[in-house]
């Protein structure tokens, strides 16, 4: 968290508008179970906690630059995930395997959805999108640890059926740059963040690479009370780890009227 704070401070010190943030760091089966110095399971730390902390640190600048966007790469692994309110750090899971990966990706989507809802309530012109790239032969697959049973098939399947990164990045680029998406950061039911990427049964086909949109499949992703609870607990834990003063959405109230939607 110290390195994330230092990075955010450098960005803010530039004094430039910030109208796009893309969170794309990720871990997948790449090391045995381990806790970070802040007490987070390492996959949770990278896939969720680092993104949430960075987003909050930059949030006021993003709101000021509106219309702006926040895009985060999630994963179809959310289908198998579970939000464990008693252990959002993942410290009690005792593994950094597949289930931990899926839990971290679902947690990220749930938090992003609540972020979008709260931004809209505050009148901020910020669109939040989640994306899943499909099964991609990126550098991520070169780092899998073969001590995980899924590591070997995941590694070799990436060389046979996975998408080239050229196709894998398109859902993220679409969410980040397409002009038609401005103002569309809520789903049709006005809850949650839109989710872009190839339809799940077709996630390794390049023909369906970026414009498909649909809800997350995990039912927990659509639980409004759970989203609110995750938001509150995430902020509490971040302040416990990083110290008081972690930004929330209060900065939205200080944005000039010209920077807000009606």
Q: Which residues are catalytic?
A: 101
* 3-class state of residue 237 by DSSP: helix
H helix intervals, the chain? 2-13, 42-44, 50-64, 98-121, 151-157, 165-168, 170-177, 224-242
Phi, psi (rounded to 5 degrees) for 197: 155, 180
Give the 3-state secondary structure percentages of the chain, helix then strand then coil, rounded to 5. 50, 10, 40
Q: Which residues of 163-179 are buried (b: 16+ CB within 10 A; e: fewer)?
A: beeebbbbbbebbbeee
Residue 103: CA atoms inside 13 Å, Cβ hemisphere, count? Answer: 25
Tokens 């994306």 found at: 131
SS3 189: coil
Element (H, E) at 23: strand 20-23
**C-alpha to C-alpha distance for 172 and 197, rounded to whole angstroms:** 8
The token pair at 212 is 């498909």
């Amino acid at each position: 968290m110290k390195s994330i704070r230092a990075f955010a401070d450098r960005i803010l010190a530039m004094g430039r508008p910030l109208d796009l943030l893309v969170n794309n760091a990720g871990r997948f089966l790449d090391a045995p179970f381990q806790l970070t110095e802040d007490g987070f399971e390492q996959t949770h730390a990278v896939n969720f906690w680092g993104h949430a902390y960075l987003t909050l640190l930059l949030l006021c600048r993003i709101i000021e630059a509106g219309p702006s966007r926040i895009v985060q790469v999630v994963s179809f692994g959310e289908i198998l995930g579970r939000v464990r309110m008693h252990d959002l750090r993942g410290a009690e899971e005792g593994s950094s395997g597949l289930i931990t990966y899926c839990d971290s990706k679902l947690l990220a989507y749930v938090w992003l959805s609540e972020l979008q809802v709260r931004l809209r309530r505050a009148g901020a012109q910020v669109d939040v999108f989640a994306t899943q790239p499909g099964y991609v032969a990126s550098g991520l697959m070169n780092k899998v640890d073969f001590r995980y049973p899924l590591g070997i098939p995941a590694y070799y399947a990436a060389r046979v059926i996975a998408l080239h990164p050229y196709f894998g990045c398109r859902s993220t680029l679409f969410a980040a740059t397409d002009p038609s998406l401005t103002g569309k950061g809520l789903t049709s039911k006005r809850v949650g963040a839109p989710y872009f990427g190839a339809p799940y049964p077709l996630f390794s086909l390049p023909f369906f690479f970026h414009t498909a949109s649909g809800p997350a499949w995990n039912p927990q992703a659509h639980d409004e009370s759970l989203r609110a609870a995750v938001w509150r607990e995430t902020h509490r834990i971040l302040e416990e780890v990083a110290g008081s003063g972690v930004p929330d959405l209060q900065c939205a109230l200080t944005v000039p009227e010209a920077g807000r939607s009606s």
